[in-house]
Structure 1
Amino acid sequence: MTENTPKSGRWTFACAGAALALAATACSGSSAESDDGPTDEVTTLIVGITPIIDHASVFIAIEEGFFDEEGLNVSAQPVQGGAAAVPAMVSDDLQAAFASYPSFFLAESQYIGVTIVAEGVRGTEETAGIYVNDDSSIEGPADLAGTTIAVNTLNNIGDVSIAAALEEQGVDTAGIEFVEYPFPDMLPALESDAVDAVWLVEPFRSGAEKDGARKVFSSYTGVAEAIPVSGIGMADEFVAANPTTVEGFARAIERANGMLAEDPALAAEIVQTYSETTEEQAEAMELPVWTEGAVDVDELARWNDLLLATGVLHEPIEMSELTLQD
């Protein structure tokens, strides 16, 4: 978990997380053996995840045996967040990382070679937003000008989507200070008036509403409406060295996404196995949207627009270099 003291500023690899009720096996990638002898490809993979509902597809694919059918041994390991998972992936402590898409765009902009191999979820107006204390004077988007807002990671999906959506509504965001807090620490910070507002996703959003917090703005709206939120990436070197493994991994996640697209309630069930989410909390969640099929490059490219508009990127990322190519 990140330090209890919030951070403010621009790009950082530190990211917030939460305690998991998940026992992860720390193991390094290993090569497979076939009847003809060892192959050169890694088939034992660790995927970095955080305890939010977005990452349900990894656990569905494990539980349903989709990875096994591809000849892969995949386990999930808790990390502090996507921005922390990317450098761990590049150093091969992880073979894949589930992260918000800005993490991958930023890594690519810093010449850290990554490839998005599978989609995760897309946001809705209900799955993420800005919350305040019930007695706060903040009533709507215009009142957020000049405030301090807690997000889980700076220069990432929270502050970028907030700034872009607010600016579209004519709100002056120059005076907004975004500070970094782990999700579990956000409500205490709000209640103690350390921040004016907090940006929350599931399972924290529904819990906050139950505790009396009040939503004043949906970040996945307007220019950010239904935007792809998160996906799974791998280091370029790993992708180049293990093409068969990567293709099999992507197919397994696509199958899991297909199941979740058809029946999103499966995510509410399985999130209880890898997070501290209770059955009651799971039933109260607003679920994101899963889509079938491979990575939608056109939809992902929307992040170029938002990151450029908010000054996080200075040049667009070439999508053919960032996504898995046929």
Structure 2
Amino acid sequence: MQYKSVTTEVLEIAYLDYGARDGWPCIMGHGFPYDVNAYAEAAPILAQAGARVLVPWLRGYGPTRFRFPQTLRSGEQAALGADLLAFMDALKIERAVVGGYDWGGRAACIVSVLHPERVVGLVSGNSYNIQNIARAMEPASPPHEAALWYQYFFHNERGRRALERNRRGFARQLWTMWSPKWQFDDATFDRSAVSFDNPDFVDVVIHSYRHRFALVEGDPAYAAIEAKLAAQPQVRVPTIAIDGDSDGVIPGTAHHAEKFEGFYQRRVFAGAGHNLPQERPAEWAQAVLDVRKAAS
């Protein structure tokens, strides 16, 4: 499938476009270390149900490119949210069902809380994905801390060099650990792995995992957004939140329910790990259809 691209103030955003142009807008975001192929099966299901499904590569992934060399290769949450809103503006999409998991789910949550008038409904893998950076240094349980080894690894230059030298090796290690019951083959991994060859991939990833612990400064262009997110605002758009019961990095998010107002439903995908839409495409697509129905 040939990708398209659209120009924003900061990026040339590459994306896949499924369904009729006059279909109801649906924007789905991938996570780290994945790419648009996470929706290769879910998106056609939604297109058949009348959606126009747009799946962009995030900054630092695939064919998406920064427009200017001087732009900080930031992976902070505010940048991801701003990119999603700019993507909607560039395509003249007034309102859409938005969703995603990991980084893509974070962007969808941010647009949902800061621009609810632009969101029909939200499907969020791992529920409330907005980082509470002010509390990032508070320790978690030993099992959860162990699962976050890669984040701490990326805090030092050994981790940066390791990722630069072996992007695919570390990505595959995380796929395996985070989705222990997902029997993906080499071809499936390789289709996504080419997205990690983006020249800005390492810089964006390293900045993301350092910024969320307040170890590096963010891009001043997004400081106002980060200030709003620091208040941990409520999600007030119709939401279906999803966890996998075999997620090797997120131990479950039932406790996030208090962050949602109005229609909220939590689903648990049996046997699924972290890459929810790719592991359970039909169930993910059904959640999108159901949240749209709930919003109507």
TM-score by length of 2: 0.36
Q: Which has the larger radius of gyration?
A: 1
Q: Which has the higher helix share?
A: 2
TM-score by length of 1: 0.33
Q: Which has the higher strand share?
A: 1
**Does 1 or 2 have the higher relative contact order (CA < 8 Å, sep 6+)?**
1
